[in-house]
């Protein structure tokens, strides 16, 4: 377990490794501590390595990435299913709405974690520390 919060850039994981850790809700730095305190609220700092995350603001990045991912899954699925099966309109509207909502709620925190890890890994603007 890492305990030093002031690791230099050479000791940090790569961008994709950090994103993979954030994708499963873990600290991009150490992969052990949790990244979110609640559904979408990131932790102030990692409980395992003490890396600070409260200054990073993913803002609209997470909804943008969520729409991009969910849209590219749902739209082709709707087109294929609606072309091959005769489904009553009310069933179609109810089912696709529920599936889209469920997929959105599953994707949003993961998207926020990935965007947050990109900002953290690259020291990109989006941090209030600048």
Contact footprint for Zn ion (CB under 5 A): 27, 29-30, 33, 46, 48-49, 51
For Zn ion, the closer of residues 24 and 95 by Cβ is 24
Which tokens sit at 92? Answer: 């179609």
Phi, psi of 4 (to 5 degrees): -90, 120
- Minimum CB separation from Zn ion for residue 57, in Å? 19
For Zn ion, the closer of residues 21 and 69 by Cβ is 21
Q: Judge residue 80's burial from the number of C-beta atoms within 10 Å of its C-beta, 0-12 exposed, 13-18 middle, 19 or more buried.
A: exposed
- CA separation for the pair 23, 68 (Å, rounded): 16
- Minimum CB separation from Zn ion for residue 37, in Å? 14
For Zn ion, the closer of residues 4 and 82 by Cβ is 4
Angle between helices 89-122 and 15-23 (to 10 degrees): 140
- Minimum CB separation from Zn ion for residue 126, in Å? 19
């Amino acid at each position: 377990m890492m305990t030093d919060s002031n690791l230099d850039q050479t000791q940090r994981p790569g961008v994709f490794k950090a994103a993979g850790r954030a994708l499963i809700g873990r600290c991009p730095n150490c992969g052990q501590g949790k990244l979110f305190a609640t559904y979408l609220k990131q932790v102030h700092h990692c409980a395992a390595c003490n890396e600070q995350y409260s200054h990073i603001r993913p803002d609209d990045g997470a909804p943008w990435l969520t729409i991009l991912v969910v849209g590219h899954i749902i739209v082709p699925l709707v087109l294929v299913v609606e072309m091959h099966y005769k489904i009553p309109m009310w069933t179609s509207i109810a089912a696709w709405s529920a599936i889209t909502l469920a997929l959105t709620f599953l994707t949003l925190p993961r998207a926020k974690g990935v965007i947050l890890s990109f900002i953290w890994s690259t020291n990109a603007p989006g941090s209030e520390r600048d």
